[in-house]
């Protein structure tokens, strides 16, 4: 579970860093999964609640539950979506009876699970036969520009440590087809795999940079661990690699998504 502890930092900083992409990604994942009105759905690793919020919009709050092991993130989700049940629990041990949901989804969570196979099996257990399991992860090695450019810049500034922390290296389930393999290992049928591409806008480079020194997410934790000179060098290299000038800009991010049916 590389970096799972970095999500105990600020939910507000998370929203400014990765959370900027989450609402768009959530809508795309819900469409891809085929979540429809009337279903009861679980958001596993709900964080501050971007996917849960999109599920509530489609299904209503009484039909949505969230599970999240980080207490501050679970609390942020409850504050944002007061009508839904949010339990503090990891995917590997979900406190719900068998067949409780028609759909179990997780967004950007699989790589942070201690045991992703056990997490996927638990998601299967709490979903009824015929229900859907769907998930997505960033394409850390390829077209997730925010994260890819960060680690490329980090490798310029502190090559050895950055090479060991680069999410393209440490994340087990981030290459083309990996999630489909995991879904088949968990016993799912009719497995589908596809890219989801989303965009985020920034006022300027500082808007992108400001949550990183707080230490949220693996990139933030790396940034926070640097001494002042290296942090400044990282800031400058990152900005150069992104080609960010003084004004607003947009970045594209690709995630890999998987969906499958519970037998």
Residues in contact with ligand SAM by the rule CB under 6 A: 1, 4, 7, 18-19, 22, 44-47, 50-51, 68-70, 73, 90-92, 107-109, 112-114, 119
Beta bridge partners of 103: 41, 132
Cβ-Cβ contacts under 8 Å for 94 (sequence gap 6 or more): 42, 44, 67, 87, 122, 123, 125, 126
Q: Which is nearer to ligand SAM, 194 or 232 (CB)?
A: 194
> Could you tell me the sign of the dihedral formed by the alpha carbons of 1, 31, 47, 99, in that order?
negative
Q: How far is the CB of 99 from ligand SAM (least distance, A)?
A: 20
Q: Which is nearer to ligand SAM, 109 or 180 (CB)?
A: 109
Q: How far is the CB of 227 from ligand SAM (least distance, A)?
A: 26
Q: Which is nearer to ligand SAM, 108 or 257 (CB)?
A: 108
CB 221 within 8 A of CB 212: no
Q: How far is the CB of 22 from ligand SAM (least distance, A)?
A: 4
Q: How far is the CB of 195 from ligand SAM (least distance, A)?
A: 17
> Could you tell me the sign of the dihedral formed by the alpha carbons of 132, 110, 58, 122, in that order?
positive
Compute φ and ψ for 258, nearest 5 degrees.
-135, 145
Compute φ and ψ for 204, nearest 5 degrees.
-170, 175
d(CA 120, CA 259): 12
Chain-centre distance for alpha carbon 70: 14
Q: Which is nearer to ligand SAM, 118 or 169 (CB)?
A: 118
> Could you tell me the sign of the dihedral formed by the alpha carbons of 219, 220, 221, 225, in that order?
positive
Q: Which is nearer to ligand SAM, 92 or 102 (CB)?
A: 92
Q: How far is the CB of 43 from ligand SAM (least distance, A)?
A: 7
Dig out the tokens for 92 from the structure: 């590997």
Q: Which is nearer to ligand SAM, 18 or 149 (CB)?
A: 18
Q: How far is the CB of 127 from ligand SAM (least distance, A)?
A: 15
């Amino acid at each position: 579970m590389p970096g799972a502890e970095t999500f105990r930092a600020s939910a507000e900083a998370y929203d400014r860093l990765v959370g900027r992409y989450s609402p768009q990604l959530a809508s795309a994942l819900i469409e891809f999964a085929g979540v429809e009105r009337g279903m009861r759905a679980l958001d596993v690793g709900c964080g501050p609640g971007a996917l849960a919020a999109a599920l509530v919009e489609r299904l209503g709050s009484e039909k949505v539950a969230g599970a999240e092991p980080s207490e501050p993130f679970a609390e942020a989700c409850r504050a944002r979506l007061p009508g839904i049940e949010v339990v503090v629990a990891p995917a590997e041990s979900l406190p719900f009876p068998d067949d409780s949901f028609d759909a179990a989804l997780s967004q950007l969570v699989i790589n942070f699970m201690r045991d992703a196979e056990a997490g996927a099996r638990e998601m299967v257990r709490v979903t009824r036969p015929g229900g859907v399991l769907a998930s997505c992860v960033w394409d850390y090695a390829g077209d997730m520009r925010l994260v890819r450019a960060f680690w490329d810049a980090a490798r310029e500034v502190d090559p050895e440590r950055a090479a060991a922390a680069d999410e393209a290296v440490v994340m087990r389930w981030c290459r083309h087809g990996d999630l489909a393999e995991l879904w088949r290992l968990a016993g799912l049928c009719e497995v589908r795999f596809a890219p989801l591409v989303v965009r985020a806008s920034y006022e300027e480079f500082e808007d992108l940079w400001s949550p990183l020194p707080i230490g949220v997410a693996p990139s933030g934790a790396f940034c926070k661990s640097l001494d002042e000179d290296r942090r400044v060098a990282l800031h400058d290299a990152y900005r150069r690699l992104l080609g960010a000038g003084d004004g607003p800009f947009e970045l594209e991010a690709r995630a890999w998504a998987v969906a499958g049916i519970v037998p």
